[in-house]
């Protein structure tokens, strides 16, 4: 039975504050569900913000930097080989238009190559150039160093539990997924 924390909550400790306050005023709200979603949202946000800030120091060349979404696209292409733009969008979670614009940028820097498919002339095949592979290897290693810094807070067993719980959570049915 400890004292409630001092007067000024911050982004993270506000979760407690909000759940308590809302569940007192709105009886139809489930505090458990609210806490779960809010915790998940804010934890991911904090983690993403930190990893993005660390990534900001990585320079692509003297003029441009590798954006967070740029790295995501490189990851998709590195892991899944030559792919049509539509598939890249589905695997990266972005719209086709966003991928089209981002690829334009990456292609201008010589990291990915675009060539029209021969089987289906509507589609374009995207593929990492050798320079793109080298850039991805360098940048993702740096990015993963930040991931390791975070992951080290949990034991291996706890990391497995966390991934397992999230995986089970994703088996929720009747979900509005991206088209």
Site for a copy of itself in 95-134 (CB under 8 A): none
Instruction: Please report, as residue ranges, which positions from 66 to 125 form the binding site for DNA (by CB under 7 A).
Output: 67, 69, 84-86, 89, 93-98, 100-105, 114, 120-124
Judged by beta carbon distances under 5 to 8 A according to partner kind, the member of DNA, a copy of itself, none in contact with residue 48 is a copy of itself
Q: In what order do the strands lie in the sheet with 124-128?
A: 83-84, 124-128, 112-116
Instruction: Please report, as residue ranges, which positions from 37 to 66 form the binding site for a copy of itself (by CB under 8 A).
Output: 37, 39-51, 53-54
> CA 155 to CA 124: how far, in whole Å?
43
* Interior angle at CA 11, CA 170 and CA 39, nearest 5: 20
Taking the least distance from each CB to DNA, the nearer of 21 and 65 is: 65
Nearest approach, Cβ of residue 108 and a copy of itself (Å): 25
Taking the least distance from each CB to a copy of itself, the nearer of 48 and 108 is: 48
Which is nearest to 88 in space by CA: 101, 73, 98, 102?
A: 73
Please state the φ and ψ torsions of residue 19, each to the nearest 5 degrees.
-60, -45
Binding-residue pattern over the window 11 to 50 for DNA, x denoting contact by CB under 7 A:
----------------------------------------
List the structure tokens of 32.
Answer: 């458990």
């Amino acid at each position: 039975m400890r004292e409630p924390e001092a007067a000024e909550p911050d982004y993270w400790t506000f979760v407690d504050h909000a759940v308590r306050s809302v569940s007192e005023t709105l009886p139809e709200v489930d505090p458990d569900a609210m806490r779960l979603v809010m915790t998940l949202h804010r934890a991911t946000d904090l983690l993403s913000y930190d990893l993005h800030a660390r990534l900001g120091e990585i320079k692509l060349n003297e003029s441009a930097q590798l954006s967070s979404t740029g790295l995501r696209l490189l990851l998709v292409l590195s892991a899944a080989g030559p792919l049509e733009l539509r598939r890249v969008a589905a695997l990266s979670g972005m719209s086709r238009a966003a991928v089209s614009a981002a690829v334009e940028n990456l292609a201008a820097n010589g990291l990915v190559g675009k060539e029209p498919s021969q089987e289906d002339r509507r589609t374009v095949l995207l593929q990492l150039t050798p320079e793109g592979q080298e850039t991805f290897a360098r940048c993702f290693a740096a990015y993963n160093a930040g991931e390791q810094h975070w992951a080290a807070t949990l034991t291996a067993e706890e990391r497995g539990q966390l991934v397992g719980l999230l995986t089970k959570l994703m088996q929720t049915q009747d979900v509005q997924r991206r088209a």
